[in-house]
Amino acid sequence: MNNEINTENIEIENNNKNNNTDNINVKPFVISNVGMSLDGKLATIENDSRISGEDDLKRVHKIRKSVDGIMVGIGTVLKDDPRLTVHKINAKKEDNPIRIVVDSNLRIPLNARVLNDDATTIIATTENMGENKNINEKIRELAKKNIIIIKTGIDKVDLVKLMELLYKKGIKNILLEGGGTLNWGMFENNLVDEVRVYIAPKIFGGKGAPTFVDGDGFKTVDECIKLALKNCYKLDDGIVIEYTVKK
Ligand SMILES: NC(=O)C1=CN([C@@H]2O[C@H](COP(=O)(O)OP(=O)(O)OC[C@H]3O[C@@H](n4cnc5c(N)ncnc54)[C@H](OP(=O)(O)O)[C@@H]3O)[C@@H](O)[C@H]2O)C=CC1
Ligand SMILES: Nc1nc(O)c(N)c(N[C@@H]2O[C@H](COP(=O)(O)O)[C@@H](O)[C@H]2O)n1
């Protein structure tokens, strides 16, 4: 049972008050996909992320079409303003997966393209997102756009709980499309099941350029995520490598 609160008649799911322990450890199957340079960067220091060629983008959009949900961090929304729909291959509106944005402080701009009506959008936020004084106005505007807001976590989105909640909503598989900070959060919590990377024959360099997995990093090799090679092949001018995450 979810406890729900009303903010000016707008229902926000507040899962921090949810003590239900049913279905714990039942989560969507998560595929982490990125296009990266050979040195592991997701974009250049000036946020140029044109890495994949046309065939690789078609590969990504086939995955988008096949999953229930597609997830990004608010960093990617603010930097790229993505649509997160299936638009590089033939598709109908019904083929678009549910878009999930992980955004602890509701920083999402109201004109972000992920808030358009091409697909359902869920914003995962936190208990303390309301500290900004204009937050109720923003929630009202998001509600007008039929955006679903889920609160889980106090200051930072609780990704483990979020996965359980999404699974209960019928989202059985998710394409995780980064960026590096959210990818770390997902790997750190052992929430990723499969990895697919397109590696472009390019070197971007730059200490500040985002990488496939950023965050704090594991301290030892013993702690790190271990992968088993599943498949690899040439595509465009690069290669695609697919791994299963060893659990
Ligand atoms: N080449 C590719 O395939 C791709 C490239 N990119 C690139 O990646 C870059 C963006 O990456 P980045 O800046 O790291 O942003 P992310 O998209 O990874 O978003 C990170 C933000 O998510 C929020 N967040 C909330 N809860 C969590 C949590 N539990 N764990 C982790 N994050 C959480 C945080 O913001 P808050 O605290 O406000 O909630 C955090 O700063 C861009 O340059 C983009 O172009 C992105 C995707 C794919
Ligand atoms: N796989 C992949 N290759 C690249 O070269 C990329 N730049 C990305 N970026 C991701 O796709 C999002 C854009 O999506 P829309 O086309 O607007 O639907 C972008 O925000 C990244 O998540 N991915």
How far apart, in whole angstroms, are the C-alpha atoms of residue 178 and residue 210? 10
Which ligand 1 atom is at minimum distance from the Cα of 33?
A: 3
Sequential pLDDT tens for the chain (247 residues):
232 333 444 657 777 655 554 545 699 999 999 999 999 999 999 999 999 999 999 999 999 999 999 999 999 999 999 999 999 999 999 999 999 999 999 999 999 999 999 999 999 999 998 766 789 899 999 999 999 999 999 999 999 999 999 999 999 999 999 999 999 999 999 999 999 999 999 999 999 999 999 999 999 999 999 999 999 999 999 999 999 999 9
CATH H superfamily, domain 91-173: Dihydrofolate Reductase, subunit A (3.40.430.10)
- How far apart, in Å, are the Cα atoms of 33 and each of 13, 123, 194, 231, 241? 29, 20, 9, 14, 10
How far apart, in whole angstroms, are the C-alpha atoms of residue 136 and residue 216? 33
- 82 alpha carbon to ligand 2 midpoint, in Å? 7
Walk across the sheet containing 4-7 and list its strands.
Answer: 4-7, 10-14, 148-151, 121-125, 98-102, 69-73, 173-176, 29-37, 194-200, 238-245, 227-235
Nearest to 50 by CA among 231, 200, 224, 212: 200
Contact partners, residue 2, CB within 8 Å, separation at least 6? 13, 14, 15, 18, 20
pTM over 0.90? The answer is: yes
Tell me which residues have their CB closer than 6 angstroms to ligand 1: 34-36, 42-43, 47, 49, 51, 72-76, 79-80, 102-105, 107, 156-157, 159, 177-182, 185, 210, 214
- 180 alpha carbon to ligand 1 midpoint, in Å? 6
Domain boundaries, the chain: 91-173
Q: What's residue 12's pLDDT?
A: 76
Residue 138's H or E segment, with its range, is helix 135-144
Q: What's residue 20's pLDDT?
A: 52
Here the ipTM equals: 0.99
- 79 alpha carbon to ligand 1 midpoint, in Å? 9
Ligand lying closest to the C-alpha of residue 235: 2
